[in-house]
């Protein structure tokens, strides 16, 4: 894993030097010419992006890429997935190895600016939590002073962890391991008392990796804000706009009751908002530099945001997450699409 | 001179047909090409970084790191800056490399000699060790040792407690240490004095033996100086015996000192792996000394151990040192595999920094500079040592 990330970093060094003209704001042209979207995803985080038994990537982050490909190319399957570790991801995006990074990445100020990236909206509002073995009898994160904590390096998780313990005047030992599989193994072998990452990730790990999920509890405290969303690099505003509005379209579709099943008949809807979104009333596609059926293609490929959520991480899946703050604003959540007009 | 006259007297050939002229042209072209390529890469990188508005430079080293490092030789907390984080990483790399080299050398020499043993079992065991260890990728071995430690040892509450205050669990190896006291500082100073004194006495004893043939009981004298002096200092300081005993808190042991599983697995993995290579080098070095030397030494009445120590090894060292230097360098560089098992070495800390700050080029330049300096330092030391032990022809 380390060698891989070093390779990417080294490639980036070369790519910075060699691939100069590719950054002239031409991501969109490159995608069209290639006929496919290259999407950076997680190496394996159940519910967000993980290869299934046939090696096909599936998950919430993966569907965002399918939707973007459908909107641009009219073909949701025209996506090449590149699995990236937490450490490789930004270099891969900056160097042009991937067009879009949809890999449970937290939107922060420095990433948005100094790293030369643009966050195109939020597809999942997460927060960092703690998981502990039930037998420790811990009920609150404030009881964790002196604990050994397993954490992956190079993420906001590692910084939040240090901040939280510092703010509450507690101390801890960190076991920091880069590989996702190895850090899981260390926690379940008992090397650490606590595992910390985003709460959704904890749910995913508990349901899919734990030998017995009932032996582990996720503590109620969320110690950080982790808005996760797709990322593109600076320099192609047109592509940035498209990704941003595809995300909005998926949310708007849920609000307006457009689903994968009824999108066809919704084309004839009298609601002017729906007509504009789906392209029955022309203009939106042109403004984005796409065909008028961009949103139609995206929704018919992956469904609306609510459908994507329920399909991959909702209560009926092994992760079993409630909508919570990821519900629509009309139902008390934070999901709010800007008006498409 | 003769060559010059012939060239001068001959009709002057064009510079292309003059081998020396051609060589100079080729060299200028190659150097120019390399310089151009580097200039192109560097200027292009700078330009692209600027185009993408990615900050560059080493200014980030002053910013607060914000993450914790589990083991450190210097004071470090999340409030320290990235520069200190790098320093912690460098020191950790240094620590594991130096200890690894020391253990690998001792183990390698023992196994190398064991392979040549006339005892069938010892020789075959040593051979199995070498073949097994050097033919399995190091990364797998590190995973193996880390797994052995974390999976097979019990948790802290069921820690194995072989001696009072000594605990062995999957959180590491805990031993009590004496509480800080002035007497221990004195004992430390006494130890250093003892070692220096032993060295001086040894030189004197050697010179005397060479001059008069009279042996000196060096072993007893050395032991007296190295062990006796610190003990004396400790007694004079009031003989404090309070120990800082590890105690089980809610989650972990407090007090005492810890050998973490990550460090233990890395050190053990690196040392045993490199020892397999050093063993082969030692064996080849010993075999390179003609058997006649051994026979001659035996004929002089030297015992087996003395033959090895006084005749064979000094000659074998000439063959052993240069390739061993490469193994030392390999061990140092292999320590970067620490990333895989979570020991905070330079690359581990640097990767985190790289990812938090996005300063890939700067972080990787630091890696390269540190490993290069470390490797060159080891090379320089070993070359100096190699020259010192080189056969002096008389």
Give CA–CA dist B29/B8, Å, rounded.
27
Phi, psi of A261 (to 5 degrees): -75, -40
**CATH architecture group of domain A2-125+228-331:** 3-Layer(aba) Sandwich (3.40)
**Cβ atoms within 10 A of the Cβ of A292, count?**
17
What was the pLDDT predicted at B10?
57
Q: List Cα–Cα distances, A209 to A201, A204, B178, B319, in angstroms.
A: 11, 8, 43, 52
Interface A:B, Cβ pairs < 8 A = 158
Lowest mean pLDDT among A70-79, B155-164, B297-306, B347-356: B155-164
Cβ B370 vs Cβ B336: under 8 Å: no
Residue of A nearest to B334 (CA): A3
Among the listed residues B370, B345, B82, B351, the one whose alpha carbon sits nearest the alpha carbon of residue A3: B351
- Token pair, residue B72, equals 């450190």
User: In A, which residues are within 8 Å of B341 by CB distance?
Assistant: 177, 182
Q: Which of A2, A9, A165 sits opposite B340 (nearest CB)?
A: A2
User: In A, which residues are within 8 Å of B53 by CB distance?
Assistant: 113, 116, 234
Residue found under tokens 């997460």: A126
Chain centroid to CA A289: 25
How are beta strands B160-163 and A79-84 bridged, if at all? unpaired
- Token pair, residue A241, equals 């706009």
DSSP letters spanning B312-348: IHHHHHHHHHHHHHHHHHHHHHHGGGHHHHT---HHH
Residue of A nearest to B80 (CA): A162
Give CA–CA dist B27/B47, Å, rounded.
30
What was the pLDDT predicted at A299?
96
Q: Strand order of the sheet with strand A216-218?
A: A173-176, A148-151, A194-198, A128-133, A216-218
Sign of the alpha-carbon torsion through B356, B359, B360, B364? negative
Q: Name the 3-class secondary structure at A48.
A: coil
Give CA–CA dist A64/A70, Å, rounded.
10
User: In B, which residues are within 8 Å of A154 by CB distance?
Assistant: 351-352, 354-356
Phi, psi of B381 (to 5 degrees): -65, -45
Residue found under tokens 């004839």: A268
Check CB contact under 8 Å for A9 and B78: no
Phi, psi of B248 (to 5 degrees): -80, 120
What was the pLDDT predicted at B393?
66
Q: Please state the rounded mean pLDDT for residues A148-154.
A: 86
Check CB contact under 8 Å for A115 and B358: yes
Residue A81, pLDDT > 80, answer: yes
Residue of B nearest to A1 (CA): B340
Residue found under tokens 């620590």: B95
Q: List Cα–Cα distances, A149 to A157, A162, B69, B106, in angstroms.
A: 11, 11, 12, 36
- Residues A286-312: pLDDT tens digits? 999 999 999 999 999 999 999 999 999
Residue of B nearest to A149 (CA): B70
Are both A2-125+228-331 and A128-224 of the same fold?
yes
Domain A128-224 -> CATH class? alpha beta
Sign of the alpha-carbon torsion through A10, A14, A15, A16? positive
Q: Where are the domains of chain A?
A: 2-125+228-331, 128-224
Residues in contact with B283: Cβ distance below 8 Å, sequence separation at least 6, in sequence order: B112, B113, B115, B116
Residue A261, pLDDT > 50, answer: yes
Residue A87, pLDDT > 80, answer: no
What was the pLDDT predicted at B89?
94
Furthest C-alpha separation in chain A: 62
Residue B200, pLDDT > 60, answer: yes
Q: Please state the rounded mean pLDDT for residues A30-42.
A: 94
Give CA–CA dist B386/B141, Å, rounded.
31
- Catalogue the E-assigned strands of A143-212: 148-151, 173-176, 194-198
Check CB contact under 8 Å for B45 and A17: yes
Q: Name the 3-class secondary structure at B242.
A: coil
Q: Please state the rounded mean pLDDT for residues B293-309.
A: 90
Interior angle at CA A158, CA B364 and CA A199, nearest 5: 135
| Distance in Å from the first CA to the final CA of chain B | 35
Give CA–CA dist B164/B176, Å, rounded.
9
Q: Which of B68, B352, B358 sits opposite A90 (nearest CB)?
A: B358
Highest mean pLDDT among A26-40, B7-21, B152-166: A26-40
DSSP H/E element including B130: helix B120-134
Residues B200-210, buried b or exposed e (16+ Cβ, 10 A)? ebeeebeeeee
**HEC profile of A294-316:** HHHHHHHHHCCHHHHHHHHCCCC
Q: Which of A116, A143, A162 sits opposite B67 (nearest CB)?
A: A162
Establish if B51 touches chain A: CB-CB under 8 angstroms: yes
**Cβ atoms within 10 A of the Cβ of A140, count?**
10
User: In B, which residues are within 8 Å of A17 by CB distance?
Assistant: 40-42, 44-45, 48
Residue B1, pLDDT > 80, answer: no
Residue A3, pLDDT > 60, answer: no
Give CA–CA dist B322/B331, Å, rounded.
15
Give CA–CA dist B275/B331, Å, rounded.
10
- Residues B73-111: pLDDT tens digits? 888 888 889 999 999 999 999 999 999 999 999 999 999
Residue B9, pLDDT > 70, answer: no
- Catalogue the E-assigned strands of chain A: 37-42, 50-51, 57-58, 79-84, 100-101, 117-119, 124-126, 128-133, 148-151, 173-176, 194-198, 216-218, 226-228, 231-233
Radius of gyration of chain B (CA): 28
Give CA–CA dist B10/B141, Å, rounded.
68
- Residues B130-144: pLDDT tens digits? 999 999 999 999 999
| Cα atoms in the 13 Å half-sphere on the side-chain side of A241 | 14
Cβ A150 vs Cβ A191: under 8 Å: yes
Give CA–CA dist B290/B100, Å, rounded.
32
Whole-model pTM above 0.80? no
Q: State the Cα torsion A213-A217-A220-A225 to the nearest 10°.
A: -60
Check CB contact under 8 Å for B147 and A189: yes
Residues in contact with A176: Cβ distance below 8 Å, sequence separation at least 6, in sequence order: A151, A152, A153, A158, B69, B70, B342, B344, B348, B352
ipTM over 0.90: no
Chain centroid to CA B119: 31
Residue A15, pLDDT > 50, answer: no
Residues in contact with B225: Cβ distance below 8 Å, sequence separation at least 6, in sequence order: B194, B195, B197, B198, B201
Report chain B's mean pLDDT, rounded to a whole number: 87
Q: Give how far B374 is from chain A: nearest CA, Å.
A: 20
Question: pLDDT tier at A1 (50, 70, 90 boundaries)?
Answer: very low
Q: Name the 3-class secondary structure at A113.
A: coil
Residues in contact with B340: Cβ distance below 8 Å, sequence separation at least 6, in sequence order: A1, A2, A177, A178, A179, A182, B139, B142, B143
User: In B, which residues are within 8 Å of A1 by CB distance?
Assistant: 339-340
How are beta strands A148-151 and A173-176 bridged, if at all? parallel
Sign of the alpha-carbon torsion through B374, B141, B137, B353? negative
Give CA–CA dist B84/B75, Å, rounded.
9
Check CB contact under 8 Å for B170 and A190: yes
Q: Which of A10, A115, A146 sits opposite B54 (nearest CB)?
A: A115
Establish if B171 touches chain A: CB-CB under 8 angstroms: yes
Cβ A63 vs Cβ A103: under 8 Å: no
Q: Which of B45, B262, B352 sits opposite A16 (nearest CB)?
A: B45
Cβ B293 vs Cβ B325: under 8 Å: no
């Amino acid at each position: 894993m380390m060698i891989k990330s070093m390779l990417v970093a080294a490639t980036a060094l070369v790519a910075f030097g060699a691939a100069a003209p590719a950054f002239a704001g031409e991501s969109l042209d490159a995608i069209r010419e290639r006929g496919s979207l290259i999407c950076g995803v997680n190496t394996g985080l159940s519910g967000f992006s993980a290869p299934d038994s046939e090696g096909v990537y599936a998950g919430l982050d993966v569907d965002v890429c399918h939707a973007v490909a459908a909107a641009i190319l009219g073909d949701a399957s025209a996506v090449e997935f590149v699995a990236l570790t937490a450490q490789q991801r930004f270099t891969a995006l900056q160097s042009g190895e991937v067009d879009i990074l949809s890999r449970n990445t937290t939107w922060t100020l420095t990433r948005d600016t100094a790293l030369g990236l643009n966050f195109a909206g939020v597809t999942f509002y997460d927060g960092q939590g703690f998981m502990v073995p039930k037998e420790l009898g811990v009920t609150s994160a404030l009881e964790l002073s002196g604990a050994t904590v397993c954490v992956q390096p190079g993420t906001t998780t590692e910084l939040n962890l240090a901040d939280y313990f510092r703010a509450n005047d507690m101390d801890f030992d960190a076991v920091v391991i880069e590989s996702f599989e190895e850090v899981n193994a260390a926690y379940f072998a008992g090397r650490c008392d606590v595992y910390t990452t985003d709460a959704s990730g904890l749910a995913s790990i508990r349901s899919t990796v734990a030998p017995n999920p009932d032996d582990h509890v996720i503590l109620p405290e969320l110690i950080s804000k982790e808005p996760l969303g797709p990322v593109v690099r600076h320099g192609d505003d047109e592509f940035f706009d498209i990704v941003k509005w595809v995300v909005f379209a998926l949310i708007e579709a849920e609000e307006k009751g457009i689903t994968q099943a009824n999108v066809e008949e919704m084309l004839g809807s009298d609601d002017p908002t729906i007509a504009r979104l789906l392209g029955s009333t022309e203009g939106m596609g042109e403004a984005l530099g796409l065909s008028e059926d961009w949103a139609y293609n995206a929704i018919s490929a992956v469904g609306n945001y609510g459908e994507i959520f329920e399909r991959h991480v909702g209560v009926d899946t092994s992760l079993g997450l409630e909508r919570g703050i990821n519900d629509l604003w009309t139902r008390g959540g934070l999901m709010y699409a800007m008006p498409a007009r | 001179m003769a060559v010059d006259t012939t060239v001068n007297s001959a009709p002057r050939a064009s510079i292309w047909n003059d081998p020396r002229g051609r060589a100079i042209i080729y060299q200028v072209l190659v150097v120019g090409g390399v310089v151009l390529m580097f200039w192109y890469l560097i200027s292009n990188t700078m330009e692209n970084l600027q185009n993408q508005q990615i900050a560059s430079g080493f200014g980030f080293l002053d910013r607060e790191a914000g993450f914790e490092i589990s083991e450190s030789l210097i004071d470090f907390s999340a409030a320290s800056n990235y520069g200190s984080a790098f320093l912690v990483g460098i020191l950790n790399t240094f620590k594991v490399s130096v200890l690894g080299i020391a253990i690998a050398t001792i183990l390698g020499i023992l196994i190398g000699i064991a392979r040549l043993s006339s005892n069938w079992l010892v020789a075959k065991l040593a051979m199995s060790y070498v073949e097994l260890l050097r033919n399995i990728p190091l990364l797998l071995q590190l995973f193996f040792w880390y797994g052995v430690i974390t999976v097979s040892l019990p948790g802290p509450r069921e820690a194995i407690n072989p001696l009072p205050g000594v605990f062995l669990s999957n959180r590491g190896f805990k031993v009590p240490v004496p509480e800080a006291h002035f007497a221990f500082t004195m004992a430390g100073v006494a130890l250093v004095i003892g070692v220096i004194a032993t060295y001086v006495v040894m030189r004197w004893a050697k010179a005397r033996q060479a001059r008069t043939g009279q042996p000196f009981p060096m072993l007893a004298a050395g032991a007296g100086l190295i062990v006796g002096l610190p003990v004396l200092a400790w007694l004079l300081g009031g003989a404090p015996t309070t120990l800082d005993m590890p105690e089980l808190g809610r989650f972990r042991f407090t007090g005492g000192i810890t050998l973490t599983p990550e460090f233990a697995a890395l050190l053990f993995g690196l040392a045993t792996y490199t020892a397999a290579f050093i063993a082969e080098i030692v064996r080849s070095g010993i075999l390179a000394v003609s058997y006649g030397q051994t026979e001659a030494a035996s004929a002089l009445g030297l015992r087996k151990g003395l033959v090895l120590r006084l005749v064979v090894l000094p000659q074998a060292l000439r063959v052993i040192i240069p390739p061993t230097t490469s193994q030392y360098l390999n061990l140092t560089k292999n320590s970067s595999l620490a990333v895989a098992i979570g020991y905070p070495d330079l690359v581990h800390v640097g990767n985190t920094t790289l990812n938090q700050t996005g300063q890939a080029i700067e972080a990787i330049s630091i890696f390269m500079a540190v490993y290069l300096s470390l490797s060159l330092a080891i090379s320089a030391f070993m070359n100096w040592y190699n020259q010192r032990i080189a056969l002096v022809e008389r």
